[in-house]
Amino acid sequence: MLEELGLPYQVKRYERNKTTMLAPPELKQVHPLGKSPVIEDTDGGHVIAETGAIVEYLVEKADGRLGAPAHRDSALRYRFWLHYAEGSLMPPLLLKLVLSKVPLMGKPAMKRIQPMIDVHLDYVESELKQRPWFAGDAMTAADIMMSFPLEAARSRAGLDTARPATIAWLEKVHARPAYQAALAQGGPYAYA
């Protein structure tokens, strides 16, 4: 998002403890919860955790660029998708990830989780068949919010070419110069 907005930034990586998966002490010095992602805005002296809060902060900092479109219907779609990403789509994806780490206990539940994920992926597919971006005709912060859960779904939860509009959307995101620049700056990342 910082590349899309043309805002300067520096990526700092923190490695979680491989056994406990807890944040290292250095990250807890940035934010008491040791949450990631987190940004430190040296201009304003703010430390902000939580992806949605970070995205909204950056939209405000960039004078509304990538924010809600002017048209009311598009603005409502923007708001919906901005919150849907972490409020609705990420929970079953995260549940699948966690349960995959405890195969014996998680196996019975896994059979119920994938159908829940499929409902979400089918819904996303139906929406992206109607418009090129989640809020309308132009990329917004809602698309940025949706990119991580859809990448995670592609990596580990069954998002494939059976949902061509969603795959085309991901490829369109990947083709953006800002996406390429962000990968060059921060390096590739795993979808957990």
pLDDT at 191: 59
**Which residues, 6 or more positions from 63, have their beta carbon under 8 angstroms from its beta carbon?**
none
pLDDT at 16: 83
Task: Examine the domain organization and report whether 121 and 81 are in the same domain.
Answer: yes
Q: pLDDT means per 10 residues in the chain (192 residues)?
A: 95 86 88 91 91 97 97 98 98 91 80 94 98 98 98 94 98 97 85 55
Q: Both 61 and 90 in a single domain?
A: no
Residues 20 and 113 grouped into a single domain = no
Do 57 and 121 share a domain, yes or no?
no
Tell me the residue range of the domain where 162 lies.
Answer: 72-178
* Whether the model pTM is above 0.75: yes
111 & 146 share domain:
yes
> What is the per-residue pLDDT for 137?
96
Domain end (from 18, 38, 65): 65
Asked if residues 27 and 14 have their Cβ atoms less than 8 Å apart, the reply is yes
Predicted local confidence at residue 124, as pLDDT:
99
Q: What pLDDT was estimated at residue 94?
A: 94
